[in-house]
């Protein structure tokens, strides 16, 4: 049973701190990798509350189940096959989230560079219309209790 009050509180705190409230979410479905646009108002239905790594409390994660993936398919864009995606991950030093970010950035006509800019300072990519997006691939963490507390004290 999810602690709904904690989950919604964490999402609200995250949104207060976040540079952008626009997202490009990646997921696997039927042997392919898809991307879908979403905004902060959709996150409560798309994300979950989960235990974070030891000592970090709870975490808000994008871990879509089949129902969430089916719902996202109504506005999803095909990016590539799972086989191609896996081959890219296996042939580089980057993880799935970084490879997804690279593919999305290139699909938007830009050159991807790995960075560690905090979610409070910038999005992961800005489109040609000047809209900034945070990019998340399935099983990724938006934030956790420890990060929120640290940022709120700063």
* Class of residue 66 by CB neighbours under 10 A (exposed 0-12, middle 13-18, buried 19+): exposed
Site of tokens 């964490």: 10
H/E element holding 26?
strand 22-29
Segments making up each domain of the chain, as ranges: 4-148
Cβ–Cβ < 8 Å for 11, 60: yes
**6-64 tens-digit pLDDT:** 999 999 999 999 999 999 999 999 999 999 999 999 999 999 999 998 889 999 999 99
Query: Is the predicted pLDDT of residue 1 greater than 60, yes or no?
Result: no
Query: Is the predicted pLDDT of residue 81 greater than 80, yes or no?
Result: yes
Q: How many residues does the chain have?
A: 154
* Class of residue 6 by CB neighbours under 10 A (exposed 0-12, middle 13-18, buried 19+): middle
Site of tokens 């691939």: 137
**102-152 tens-digit pLDDT:** 999 999 999 999 988 999 999 999 999 999 999 999 999 999 999 999 999
Under the banding of pLDDT at 50, 70 and 90, the label for residue 2 is: low
Cβ–Cβ < 8 Å for 37, 23: yes
For residue 128, give the DSSP letter.
T
| pTM > 0.75: yes or no | yes
């Amino acid at each position: 049973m999810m602690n709904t009050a904690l989950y919604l509180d964490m999402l609200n705190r995250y949104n207060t701190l976040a540079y952008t409230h626009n997202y490009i979410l990646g997921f696997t479905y039927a042997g392919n990798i898809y991307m879908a646009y979403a905004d902060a108002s959709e996150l409560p239905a798309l994300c979950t509350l989960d235990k974070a790594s030891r000592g970090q409390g709870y975490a808000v994660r994008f871990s879509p189940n089949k129902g969430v993936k089916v719902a996202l398919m109504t506005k999803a864009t095909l990016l590539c096959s799972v086989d191609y995606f896996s081959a890219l991950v296996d042939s580089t030093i980057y993880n799935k989230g970084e490879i997804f970010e690279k593919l999305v950035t290139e699909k938007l006509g830009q050159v991807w560079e790995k960075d560690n800019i905090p979610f409070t300072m910038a999005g992961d990519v800005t489109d040609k219309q000047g809209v900034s997006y945070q990019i998340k691939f399935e099983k990724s963490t938006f934030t956790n209790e420890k990060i929120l507390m640290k940022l709120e004290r700063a």
